Chain A
Amino acid sequence: GAVVSQHPSRVICKSGTSVKIECRSLDFQATTMFWYRQFPKQSLMLMATSNEGSKATYEQGVEKDKFLINHASLTLSTLTVTSAHPEDSSFYICSASRAGQETQYFGPGTRLLVL
Chain B
Amino acid sequence: AQTVTQSQPEMSVQEAETVTLSCTYDTSESNYYLFWYKQPPSRQMILVIRQEAYKQQNATENRFSVNFQKAAKSFSLKISDSQLGDTAMYFCAFMKLRGKLIFGQGTTLQVKP
Interface residues, chain A, with chain B CB atoms under 8 Å away: 34, 38, 41-44, 46, 49, 91, 93, 95, 102-106, 108-109
A43-B42 Cα distance, complex, nearest whole Å: 15
Cβ of B11 under 8 Å from chain A:
no
A109-B105 Cα distance, complex, nearest whole Å: 18
Interface of A is mostly: strand
Q: Are B101 and A46 in contact (CB under 8 A)?
A: yes
Nearest A residue to B101, CB-CB: A104
What residues on B are CB-neighbors of A46 within 8 Å?
Answer: 100-101
* A-B pairs with beta carbons under 8 Å apart, 8 shown: A42-B105, A43-B103, A43-B104, A46-B100, A93-B43, A102-B33, A103-B33, A106-B37
Nearest B residue to A6, CB-CB: B44
> A43-B103, A106-B46 are known contacts; what are 16 more A-B pairs with Cβ within 8 Å?
A34-B100, A34-B101, A38-B43, A42-B106, A44-B103, A93-B43, A95-B45, A95-B101, A102-B50, A102-B95, A103-B35, A105-B47, A108-B42, A108-B43, A108-B44, A109-B44
Cβ of B68 under 8 Å from chain A:
no
Interface residues, chain B, with chain A CB atoms under 8 Å away: 33, 35, 37, 42-47, 50, 89, 91, 95, 97, 100-101, 103-106, 108
Nearest A residue to B105, CB-CB: A43
A54-B52 Cα distance, complex, nearest whole Å: 29
Question: Which of A43, A49, A95 contacts B91, CB < 8 Å?
Answer: A43
B34 vs chain A, min Cβ distance (A): 10
A46-B32 Cα distance, complex, nearest whole Å: 18
What residues on B are CB-neighbors of A106 within 8 Å?
Answer: 37, 44-46
What residues on B are CB-neighbors of A44 within 8 Å?
Answer: 45, 91, 101, 103
Nearest A residue to B43, CB-CB: A109
